[in-house]
């Protein structure tokens, strides 16, 4: 009987587990440089000097482009049990979204804060 209980306990322990990882997406950019952006004046070249290359560039029309600077960092943790699993993630994100017309900034938005967490049971 003891051997059977011990075998069941070892199998149960082998079927459960935990994993944790850290991640980043994009390149971290200097948020203090955002105050140097002036609508109608700041050029694409100046943006590159302030923040580096954007995470993405979208052509909206012959004269307009959208640049996005994105940086996310966080952790993800998964806990596995015999028949269920629990997954959690947390982190922060920064997004600088810039509209350029003829390579001059016409508008921009910046958001920073906690990433929406994922909790799955």
Q: Convert 52-114 into a string of H (helix), E (strand) and C (coil).
A: CCCCEEEECCCCEEEEEEEEEEEEEEEEECCCCEEEEEEEEEEEEEEEEECCEEEEEEEEEEE
Q: From first to last of its 121 residues, what are the pLDDT tens digits of the chain?
A: 555 544 444 454 444 567 778 888 899 999 999 999 999 999 999 999 999 999 999 999 999 999 999 999 988 787 776 566 676 778 889 999 999 999 999 999 999 998 765 544 4
Q: Is the dihedral of CA 73, 30, 55, 107 positive or negative?
A: positive
Q: Where in the chain are the domains?
A: 16-120
Q: What is the DSSP letter of 43?
A: B
């Amino acid at each position: 009987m003891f051997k059977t209980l011990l075998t069941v306990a070892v199998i149960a322990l082998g079927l459960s587990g935990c994993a944790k990882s850290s991640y980043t997406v994009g390149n971290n950019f200097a948020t203090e440089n955002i105050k140097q952006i002036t609508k109608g004046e700041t050029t694409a070249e100046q943006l590159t000097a302030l923040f580096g290359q954007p995470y993405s560039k979208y052509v909206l029309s012959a004269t307009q482009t959208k640049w996005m600077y994105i940086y996310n960092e966080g952790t993800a943790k998964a806990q596995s049990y015999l028949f269920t699993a629990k997954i959690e993630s947390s982190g922060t994100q920064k997004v600088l979204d810039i509209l350029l017309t003829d390579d001059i900034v016409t508008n921009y938005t910046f958001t920073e804060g906690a990433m929406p967490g994922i909790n799955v049971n």
